[in-house]
Amino acid sequence: MKQRAETMLSAVLPNGLAAWLLTEWLWPLDTVADTAHIGTFAMFVVICFLFYTLRVPTWLSALGKIGYIWWALDEWFYDEAIWDVPRALWWDGVAWLVGGGASMPDDALRTLAFFVSLWAASFVWHWLVVRRNRWFVPYALTVSYIAVLDTFFPYSGNGAIVRLVALGFFAFVWLHGERMRAKGGAAYIRKWRAAALSIPAIAVTAGYVGPKLPPQWPDPVAFIRSYAADSGEEFDTTTAAVVKKIGYGQNDSRLGGPFIADDTVVFIAKDEGRHYWRVETKDVYTGKGWESFQSEQVKSFRNGRLMEHEWWSDKVKTAEQTAEITRQDQAFHLVYPIGLQQVQTSDNIVYRMHMATEKIYTTDINANALPIQRYTITYMEPDFPIEALRSAAPVQDAIFLKRYTQLPDTLPKRVRDLAKQITEGKETVYDKVKAIEQYFHMNGYAYETTNVAVPRANQDYVDQFLFETKQGYCDNFSTSMAVLVRSLGIPARWVKGYTSGQLAEEQNGAEFYKVRNNDAHSWVEVYFEGVGWVPFEPTQGFVNPYAFSLSTSNEEQQAPSLQPEEQETPLVPLEQLIEPSSQKQDRHWWEQLASVWSWKTALTVFVALAALGGTLYVTRRKWWPRWTLFCFRCRRVDGPEWLVPAYLALLRQLHDYGLRRKEDETLRQYAIEVDRLLETNEMARLTKWYEQVIYGANSDRIDIREARQLWENLIKRTIT
Amino acid sequence: MNEPLLSSIEQVVRNVERVIVGKRQVIVLSLTALLAKGHVLLEDVPGVGKTMLVRALAKSFSTELKRIQFTPDLLPSDVIGISVYNPKEQQFEYKPGPIVGHIVLADEINRTSPKTQSALLEAMEEGSVTVDGVTRQLPQPFFVMATQNPIEYEGTYPLPEAQLDRFLLKLQMGYPSHDEEIEMLNRLEKTAPLSEIGPVMSLEELLALQRKVTDVHVSDTVKGYIVELVQQSRTHEAVYLGVSPRGSVALMKAAQAYALIHGRDFVIPDDVQQLAPYVLAHRLLVRPEAKWDKLDGETIVAQLIARTPVPVRGRR
Q: Residue A569's pLDDT band (boundaries 50, 70, 90)?
A: very low
User: Which residues does chain A have within 8 Å of residue B269's beta carbon, measured at their own beta carbons?
Assistant: 666-667, 695
Contact B310 A663 (CB under 8 A): yes
Whether the per-residue pLDDT at A58 is higher than 50: the answer is yes
Q: Lowest mean pLDDT of A169-173, A567-571, A674-678, name the range.
A: A567-571
Task: Establish, for the pair of chains A and B, how many residue pairs have beta carbons separated by less than 8 Å.
Answer: 55
- Strand positions, DSSP E, B164-312: 169-171, 239-241, 285-286
User: Which residues does chain A have within 8 Å of residue B220's beta carbon, measured at their own beta carbons?
Assistant: none
- Whether residue A396 is found in the same domain as residue A458: yes
Q: Tell me how far apart the alpha carbons of residues A239 and A241 are, in angstroms, rounded to a whole number.
A: 5
- Whether residue A646 is found in the same domain as residue A707: yes
Nearest to B306 among A661, A664, A669 (CB): A664
Between CA A101 and CA A109, with CA A107 as vertex, the angle to 5 degrees is 60
Whether the per-residue pLDDT at B248 is higher than 90: the answer is yes
Closest CA relative to residue B216, chosen from B36, B83, B63: B36
Q: Is position A329 within any domain?
A: no
User: Which residues does chain A have within 8 Å of residue B308's beta carbon, measured at their own beta carbons?
Assistant: 664
Q: Enumerate the domain spans of chain B.
A: 7-206, 214-307
Residue type, A672: I
**pLDDT winner (highest mean) among A29-33, A448-452, B262-266:** B262-266
| Percentage of chain A lying above the pLDDT 90 cut | 2
Q: Provide the pLDDT for residue A565.
A: 40
Looking at per-residue confidence, does A291 or A236 come out higher? A291
User: Which residues does chain B have within 8 Å of residue A692's beta carbon, measured at their own beta carbons?
Assistant: 266
Whether the per-residue pLDDT at A617 is higher than 70: the answer is yes
Q: Provide the pLDDT for residue A586.
A: 52
Residue that finishes a domain, picked among A111, A128, A156: A156
Q: Which of A661, A669, A695, A698 best tests the B interface by mutation, with the highest count of B CBs <10 A? A: A695
Between CA B142 and CA B154, with CA B148 as vertex, the angle to 5 degrees is 145
Closest CA relative to residue A289, chosen from A31, A416, A464: A464
Q: Tell me how far apart the alpha carbons of residues A133 and A15 are, in angstroms, rounded to a whole number.
A: 11
Contact B265 A696 (CB under 8 A): yes
Q: Lowest mean pLDDT of A45-59, A60-74, A568-582, name the range.
A: A568-582
- Cβ density class A171-198: b for 16+ within 10 Å, e for less: bebbeebeebeeeeeeeebeeebeebee
- DSSP for A338-394 reads TTEEEEE-SS--EEEEETTTTEEEEE-TTS-B--EEEEEEEEEEEEEEHHHHHTPPP
Q: Provide the pLDDT for residue B250.
A: 92
**Tens-place pLDDT, residues B66-89:** 888 888 888 888 888 888 888 888
Looking at per-residue confidence, does A666 or A85 come out higher? A666
- A→B contacts (Cβ < 8 Å), by residue, are 644, 648, 651, 661, 663-669, 691-697
- Nearest CA of chain A to the CA of B258: how many Å? 15
**Tens-place pLDDT, residues A632-672:** 888 877 778 888 888 998 998 888 888 888 888 999 999 99
Whether the per-residue pLDDT at A557 is higher than 60: the answer is no
Nearest residue of B to residue A648 by CA position? B313
CB atoms within 10 A of CB A616: 11
Nearest residue of A to residue B222 by CA position? A695
Q: Tell me how far apart the alpha carbons of residues A342 and A376 are, in angstroms, rounded to a whole number.
A: 8
- Whether residue A546 is found in the same domain as residue A624: no
User: To which H or E segment does residue A507 belong?
Assistant: strand A502-507
Identify whether the C-beta of residue A619 lies closer than 8 Å to the C-beta of residue A609: no
Q: Residue B40's pLDDT band (boundaries 50, 70, 90)?
A: very high
User: Which residues does chain A have within 8 Å of residue B307's beta carbon, measured at their own beta carbons?
Assistant: 664
Q: What is each CA distance from A712 to A371, A594, A676, in whole angstroms?
A: 71, 48, 18
User: Which residues does chain A have within 8 Å of residue B290's beta carbon, measured at their own beta carbons?
Assistant: none
- For A68-86, what is the mean pLDDT? 77
Q: Tell me how far apart the alpha carbons of residues B289 and B295 are, in angstroms, rounded to a whole number.
A: 9
Q: Residue A555's pLDDT band (boundaries 50, 70, 90)?
A: very low
* Three-state secondary structure readout of A148-165: HHHHHCCCCCHHHHHHHH
Nearest to A648 among B306, B310, B313 (CB): B313
Contact A697 B310 (CB under 8 A): no
Nearest residue of A to residue B217 by CA position? A697
CB atoms within 10 A of CB B32: 30
Nearest residue of A to residue B271 by CA position? A666
- Nearest CA of chain A to the CA of B93: how many Å? 50
| CA dihedral over A594, A596, A599, A605, signed as positive or negative | negative
- Whether residue A579 is found in the same domain as residue A660: no
**Tens-place pLDDT, residues B116-138:** 888 888 888 888 888 888 888 88
Q: What is each CA distance from A593 to A217, A330, A590, in whole angstroms?
A: 11, 32, 5
- Nearest CA of chain B to the CA of A61: how many Å? 45
Mean pLDDT, chain B, whole residue set: 86
User: Which residues does chain A have within 8 Å of residue B313's beta carbon, measured at their own beta carbons?
Assistant: 644, 648, 694
Whether the per-residue pLDDT at B255 is higher than 90: the answer is yes
Q: Tell me how far apart the alpha carbons of residues B270 and A688 are, in angstroms, rounded to a whole number.
A: 12
Q: Provide the pLDDT for residue B222.
A: 92
Identify whether the C-beta of residue A674 lies closer than 8 Å to the C-beta of residue A654: yes
- Whether residue A38 is found in the same domain as residue A115: yes
Q: Provide the pLDDT for residue A184.
A: 66
Whether the per-residue pLDDT at B208 is higher than 60: the answer is yes
User: Which residues does chain B have within 8 Å of residue A665's beta carbon, measured at their own beta carbons?
Assistant: 310
Q: Provide the pLDDT for residue A591.
A: 61
Nearest to B267 among A648, A667, A695 (CB): A695
Nearest to B310 among A644, A648, A665 (CB): A665
Residue A97 lies in domain: 2-156
**Tens-place pLDDT, residues A242-266:** 334 445 566 777 777 777 677 788 8
Q: Tell me how far apart the alpha carbons of residues A598 and A230 are, in angstroms, rounded to a whole number.
A: 14
- B→A contacts (Cβ < 8 Å), by residue, are 1, 217, 219, 221-222, 265-270, 273, 305-310, 312-314
SS3 A563: helix
Nearest residue of B to residue A695 by CA position? B219
Nearest to B1 among A661, A668, A697 (CB): A668
DSSP bridge pairs for A471: A446
Closest CA relative to residue A90, chosen from A106, A66, A72, A71: A106
| Percentage of chain A lying above the pLDDT 70 cut | 84
Contact A667 B312 (CB under 8 A): yes
User: Which residues does chain B have within 8 Å of residue A648's beta carbon, measured at their own beta carbons?
Assistant: 312-313
Q: Tell me how far apart the alpha carbons of residues A242 and A249 are, in angstroms, rounded to a whole number.
A: 7
In the CATH hierarchy, which fold is given to the domain comprising B214-307?
Helicase, Ruva Protein; domain 3 (1.10.8)
Q: Is position A28 within any domain?
A: yes
Q: Provide the pLDDT for residue A566.
A: 40
- For A78-97, what is the mean pLDDT? 74
SS3 A464: helix
Contact B310 A664 (CB under 8 A): yes
Nearest to B269 among A651, A666, A697 (CB): A666
- Whether residue A115 is found in the same domain as residue A238: no
Contact B266 A697 (CB under 8 A): yes
Start-end of H helices in A425-473: 429-439, 461-463
Residue that finishes a domain, picked among A543, A568, A585: A585
Residue that finishes a domain, picked among A141, A156, A171: A156
Right CATH for B7-206 from 1.10.30.50, 3.40.50.1100, 1.10.10.10, 3.40.50.300:
3.40.50.300
Whether the per-residue pLDDT at B312 is higher than 70: the answer is yes
**Could you give the number of structural domains in chain A?**
4
Contact B268 A665 (CB under 8 A): no
ipTM of the complex: 0.85
**Tens-place pLDDT, residues A462-487:** 888 888 888 888 888 889 888 888 98
Q: Which of B220, B265, B268 best tests the A interface by mutation, with the highest count of A CBs <10 A? A: B268
Mean pLDDT, chain A, whole residue set: 79
- Whether residue A420 is found in the same domain as residue A474: yes
Identify whether the C-beta of residue A419 lies closer than 8 Å to the C-beta of residue A429: no
Residue A405 belongs to domain with CATH number: 3.10.620
Q: Which of A666, A674, A691 best tests the B interface by mutation, with the highest count of B CBs <10 A? A: A666
**Tens-place pLDDT, residues A330-345:** 778 888 888 888 888 8
Q: Provide the pLDDT for residue B30.
A: 92
DSSP bridge pairs for A324: A270, A376
SS3 B277: helix
- For B11-33, what is the mean pLDDT? 89
User: Which residues does chain B have within 8 Å of residue A668's beta carbon, measured at their own beta carbons?
Assistant: 1, 268, 270
- Whether residue A44 is found in the same domain as residue A116: yes
Q: Tell me how far apart the alpha carbons of residues A46 and A68 are, in angstroms, rounded to a whole number.
A: 12
Q: Residue B33's pLDDT band (boundaries 50, 70, 90)?
A: very high
Contact A694 B221 (CB under 8 A): yes
Helices (H) and strands (E) in chain A, counts: 27, 18
User: Which residues does chain A have within 8 Å of residue B1's beta carbon, measured at their own beta carbons?
Assistant: 668-669
- For B152-157, what is the mean pLDDT? 70
SS3 B313: coil
Closest CA relative to residue A219, chosen from A264, A177, A250: A264
Contact B313 A663 (CB under 8 A): no
Q: Residue A1's pLDDT band (boundaries 50, 70, 90)?
A: low
Closest CA relative to residue B43, chosen from B286, B282, B306: B282
Whether the per-residue pLDDT at B314 is higher than 90: the answer is no
User: To which H or E segment does residue B67 belong?
Assistant: strand B65-69
- Nearest CA of chain B to the CA of A640: how many Å? 11
User: Which residues does chain A have within 8 Å of residue B265's beta carbon, measured at their own beta carbons?
Assistant: 696-697
- Nearest CA of chain A to the CA of B259: how many Å? 11
Q: Provide the pLDDT for residue A556.
A: 42
Q: Is position A64 within any domain?
A: yes
What contacts A362, CB < 8 A, 6 or more positions away? A331, A332, A333, A334, A349, A350, A351, A352, A369, A370, A371, A372
Q: Provide the pLDDT for residue A460.
A: 87
Q: Provide the pLDDT for residue B251.
A: 93
Q: Is position A182 within any domain?
A: no
Q: Tell me how far apart the alpha carbons of residues A83 and A26 are, in angstroms, rounded to a whole number.
A: 29
- For B3-7, what is the mean pLDDT? 82
Q: Provide the pLDDT for residue B29.
A: 93
Nearest residue of B to residue A644 by CA position? B313
CB atoms within 10 A of CB A141: 12
Q: Which of A694, A698, A699, A700 best tests the B interface by mutation, with the highest count of B CBs <10 A? A: A694
Q: Tell me how far apart the alpha carbons of residues A337 and A326 are, in angstroms, rounded to a whole number.
A: 15
User: Which residues does chain B have within 8 Å of residue A694's beta carbon, measured at their own beta carbons?
Assistant: 219, 221, 312-314
User: Which residues does chain A have within 8 Å of residue B217's beta carbon, measured at their own beta carbons?
Assistant: 695-697
Q: Tell me how far apart the alpha carbons of residues B83 and A403 are, in angstroms, rounded to a whole number.
A: 136
User: Which residues does chain A have within 8 Å of residue B289's beta carbon, measured at their own beta carbons?
Assistant: none
Q: Residue A595's pLDDT band (boundaries 50, 70, 90)?
A: low
Which residue pairs from A29-35 have beta carbons closer than 8 angstroms and sit at least 24 positions apart in sequence? A31/A149, A31/A153, A31/A154, A31/A155, A32/A149, A32/A153, A32/A154, A32/A155, A35/A114
Nearest to A663 among B219, B273, B309 (CB): B309
Nearest residue of A to residue B305 by CA position? A664
Q: Is position A441 within any domain?
A: yes
Q: Which of B228, B264, B310, B315 best tests the A interface by mutation, with the highest count of A CBs <10 A? A: B310
Whether the per-residue pLDDT at A215 is higher than 80: the answer is no
Q: Is position A504 within any domain?
A: no
CB atoms within 10 A of CB A579: 16
Whether the per-residue pLDDT at A424 is higher than 50: the answer is yes
Q: Where does residue A393 rank: exposed (0-12), middle (13-18), buried (19+ CB within 10 A)?
A: exposed
